[in-house]
Amino acid sequence: MRIVMAGSSGFLGTRLTDRLRQSGHDVTRLVRRPAQRPDEATWDPAQGRLDPAVLAGADAVINLAGANVGDHRWTDRYKRVLRSSRINTTDTVARTLKQLSEAERPRTLLQSSAVGWYGDTGEQAVTEETPAGSTFLADLCRVWEAAARPAEDAGVRLVLMRTAPTIEASGSLLKPLLLPFKMGAGAKIGGGRQWMTWIALADWLNATEFLLEREDVAGPVNVVAPNPVRNIDFTKALARELRRPALLAVPGPVLDVVLGELAGEAQRSQRVLPAVLTGAGFAWTYPTITTALAAALRPEQATVS
C-alpha cells in the first residue's frame, strides 16, 4: 500500500512507520518543516494547509498527530494545545480528503483517538457502543473524532482508533514508573481498585496493520487488550517483574498537588473492552498484563499466553 501518515515522529508513529516499511508498504510522512527527503511532504495544519496532491492516489491515510496528554500540567494554555494539536490536524486531513475526486481519494483513514472517550466507567465494562463520558478528555475525544467525519461523508472508510496507554519500557505509561519501582518505591494509586485499560506495543502495531487491511471494519474501534486490570494488580505485576516490593500507596490529595487536574485522570477507573477487534477475529500476542510486562521489560525472555 501507499500510505500517508501524520504524527509519524511521535512514540507510536515512529514505530508504526518502521513496521509498515518492514511489511513492504510505501510510507510518506507529513512534516511541518520543509521536506528534506523523498518520503516527506510538508503541511501546515495550524493554517489548514495540505496539498491534495500529497494524498491523491494513496491507499490509506493514518493520522496519529496530537500533543502528549501527560507531558505537562493541564493549565488552560496546555489544554488549548491538546485541543488544537488534534482538531487542526484532523480537520485538515479530513477536509483535504473530501476535496479529492473519487478516483484519487484514499479508501481508508485510520484516525487516532483514545479510551479517554469513555471518561470514568467505574465497575462497568464498556464497548464501542458506549457514549462519551463527561470529563475533559472525553469531550476532547468527542470533538476530535467529529473533526474526521468529513472524510467519512466523502465515502472514505473511517476507523476511529480509541487507543489505550501502551505497555513499552520507553512509553509514557511505564517509563516514569520504572525508576521508583526499581528503588522499591512502587505504589498503587489511591485505593488501587480502579480499572486500567492498556495494550502491549506489539499488539497495537499488529492491530493497526489489521485495521488497515480489514476493509469490512469501520467506525470506533477500542485498540486495547482484552483483559483490563485493577491498578493494584498492575502495581503487583510490575513489582514482581522488576523483583522489587511495592508496598506504598499514593493518596489522591498528593497527586492533586503534584499533577493538578491531570491527577483526576490518573485515578479514573476505565474498564474498556475490544468488542470490535474480538468480533473481527483479531488475535492478541500479549493478552495479559504479565506477558505484556515481560515483553516490554525482558523481551528476550518473554513468553506468549
Q: What is the pLDDT of residues 153-167, one digit of tens each?
A: 999 999 999 999 999
Assess contact for 61 and 109: CB atoms under 8 A: yes
Q: Which residues contact 170 (CB under 8 A, 6 or more apart)?
A: 11
**Euclidean distance between CA atoms 238 and 252, whole angstroms:** 21
| Cα 69 to Cα 62, 123, 250, distances in angstroms | 19, 24, 21
Domain limits of the chain?
A: 2-297
| C-alpha cell of residue 215 | 476493509
Q: Which fold has domain 2-297?
A: Rossmann fold (3.40.50)
pLDDT of residue 256: 47
Q: What is the pTM of this model?
A: 0.93
Counting as low any pLDDT under 70, the low residues of the chain are 250-266, 300-305
Which pLDDT score, from 0 to 100, does residue 247 have? Answer: 76
pLDDT at 255: 44
pLDDT given at position 264: 56
Residue type, 131: P
Q: Which pLDDT score, from 0 to 100, does residue 259 have?
A: 45
Closest residue by Cα to residue 252 from 194, 197, 171, 195:
194
